[in-house]
Structure 1
Amino acid sequence: MEQGISAVDVICKVGLERVIRTNGDAACVKPDTAERMKKIGMLFIPINFLDLQKDIQSVTASEKEMQTVPASSMSVVNFYITDQDLNTAHRGIEVVPIQGLFEFTINGIPINGPKNMIETGPDTGQFYIKLELPETINGRPLSQDDIVLIKYLDESDYSGEQRILVKSVPLTKTFAKVESSGGGSRIGHEFTVRIYEPDANRDSKNEDKISLSELEFRSEGGIRTTLANPKFEANRSHLVETGPNTDTFEVIIKIPRQLDGKTIHIGDEYEIRYIDKSTPSNSNEKIILKGKIG
């Protein structure tokens, strides 16, 4: 790929399935990993086109369809359009200029789109479009409240009438989530820290783990440490997956009265931070759980 090979031309070793992540890069993964990535929206399209045809909602040759995946701010929206009217060279992969076919807006403000779209395989009639998002819109950085609107200006449908296909794509920064349950706001009382992190689920048959050192604890008075600090009296040295292939990891801890010689007081606010290193934007994002000592 570094030498310019297209993602659709990547060849995987026997036993691995070729997929395209939301950043447009190809990856070679085990079939169960591909299914899991697809389920949580980490792929825009599997590269195994025969399997793809079984998964996509059935359409007739003259119908149109647009499908998208979650978008990441300051990154890209990956999507594809199914339109057999554009499939004229049935033996090759076509590259089609999109000028006049698409309109792209963020919160109603027009943005520039790519020059071309590429067919996902010979004679598929499905075309991949990579829409790169700007860092700002009207001078304001994009946020998770923003909506990307994609309009496909279909010249004619099966009845000969012109129509417009529209898809809205909400911006998201990460798939990971951090939650807590139990007596987390009281000093010395056990509570559960829970992370939903599909990328840490590498073994579909056994429970995976996340190191406690990957979760940072911050509180008033300049307290900075990780949950690996023995003062938290964690019930294990890792967050452990709640079962095979659940994507959810848990550990039970206690907030101590003192950390590294500094006292935690009732009413103090605290944060537990986790860095998601496999976001759709291919960048690191902080996932923060906030609480107050009761």
Structure 2
Amino acid sequence: MYFQIGIVFTIFLLIIIQPSFADIESPRKQMKLGVMPEKITCDEGLVLMLKISGMPVCVKPTTAERLEERGWIQIIQKFEKAEREIETIPASQNSIVNYYILDDDLNTSHSGVDVISTEGLFEFTINGVPIQGPDTMIETGVDTGKFYLKLELPDTSKQDDVVLIRYLDQTDPSGEKRVLTKSITLTKTFAKVETSGGGSRIGHEFTLRIYEPDANKDSKDEDKIPLSSFEYRGDGGIRTTLANPRFDANSWALIETGPNTNTFEVKIKIPREIDGKTIHIGDEYEIRYIDKSTPSGTEEKVIFKGKIG
């Protein structure tokens, strides 16, 4: 199905979900995702307890003391919120989920880029069913302490499936385990679209907006993503980039909306004709963003599908 696009529409691509321990699901929801009761992750400041029946709950430390006297079992967890985080990027079915793990303990080569084996560090599931994860993760740069994982989804994955990652951090000197959990729901497409007004009309200006933290190279000034990074494909064999002057863009690039916002936009128009080929009402088209900035060195094509109104 193709989205009807308004005069102004927004495409959010590669949306980084900034993780925090406030994002942690309830014990009941985590169990529905396949997490074992003794492996449930609680918010920082709460204690994981197992009832006599084996059901997990997250309670305050003062409550935990009283419950232990009643025979409940306390599972020790330790969090260091500022030092360890998981970032996820939205993904579509049958595609790739990109994860970023922040853990400076794994940054052992401060003068180079570390490549770390994932064996024993991660558990990946889809709707509670274990799946094979990547063998290694790579540091995003020299001495960053931030590592990238590329999780390839099986062909059987579908829309609304829930992918869960559990990061089983190495033990600290006291021997306590630290576990981070993050889930992501698969969508039809990488792009999230908002519409306003009527259909996408020829000759009418609209705004193309993308959320892309990887292109934010300078936190003090506005960065830019060239229009040549966006490919337009339409009926009748039309294939070009948004750098084509027929789109009548107000800039040669998508410009960041402000210092360090991670959001870039440009105003363009769908022309009546491109390279001698006519665009008609009812034609279908795609806009693809070719991202060459991923640490894996791959080009991730983010596709938006539309229809001329």
Task: Give the TM-score range, shorter chain.
Answer: 0.5 to 0.7
Matched, 1:256 2:271: yes
Q: CA deviation at 1:110?
A: 3.7
Matched, 1:247 2:262: yes
For the residue of structure 1 that corresponds to 2:258, the secondary structure is coil
CA distance in 2, matches of 1:131, 1:142: 24
Q: Which amino acid aligns with 1:287?
A: V
| Contact kept? 2:291, 2:300, Cα under 8 Å | yes
Alignment: residue pair count: 207
| Contact kept? 2:77, 2:179, Cα under 8 Å | no
1:104 pairs with 112, 123, 126, which one?
123
Larger RCO: 1 or 2 (CA < 8 Å, sep 6+): 2
Structure 1, gaps ≥5 residues long = 1-38, 43-56, 83-97, 116-127
Residue 299 of structure 2: aligned partner: 284
Q: CA deviation at 1:76?
A: 6.5
CA distance in 2, matches of 1:77, 1:167: 12
CA distance in 1, matches of 2:219, 2:122: 41
Q: CA deviation at 1:195?
A: 1.3
CA distance in 2, matches of 1:249, 1:152: 35
For the residue of structure 2 that corresponds to 1:106, the secondary structure is strand
- Which whole-Å deviations, capped at 9, do the CAs of 1:47-102 have from their partners, x for residues lacking one? xxxxxxxxxx6799x6423865135747767476x9xxxxxxxxxxxxxxx87xx8
Residue 65 of structure 1: aligned partner: 79
Q: CA deviation at 1:104?
A: 2.9
Q: CA deviation at 1:215?
A: 0.9
Q: Which amino acid aligns with 1:145?
A: D
Q: CA deviation at 1:261?
A: 0.7
1:150 pairs with 143, 162, 166, which one?
166
Structure 2, gaps ≥5 residues long = 1-15, 20-43, 47-60, 62-75, 90-95, 106-118, 136-144
Q: CA deviation at 1:170?
A: 2.7
| Contact kept? 1:70, 1:171, Cα under 8 Å | no
For the residue of structure 1 that corresponds to 2:79, the secondary structure is strand
Q: CA deviation at 1:40?
A: 5.6
Matched, 1:275 2:290: yes
Q: Which amino acid aligns with 1:167?
A: T
2:246 pairs with 204, 227, 231, which one?
231
Worse overlay, 203-212 or 140-149: 140-149
Under a length normalisation based on structure 2, what TM-score does the superposition of the two structures give?
0.50
Aligned-pair RMSD on alpha carbons?
5.0
| Contact kept? 1:71, 1:78, Cα under 8 Å | no
When residues 152 and 134 of structure 1 are mapped into structure 2, their CA distance, relative to the original with a 3 A threshold, is: closer
| Contact kept? 1:184, 1:255, Cα under 8 Å | no
Residue 68 of structure 2: aligned partner: none
Q: CA deviation at 1:231?
A: 1.0
Residue 214 of structure 1: aligned partner: 229
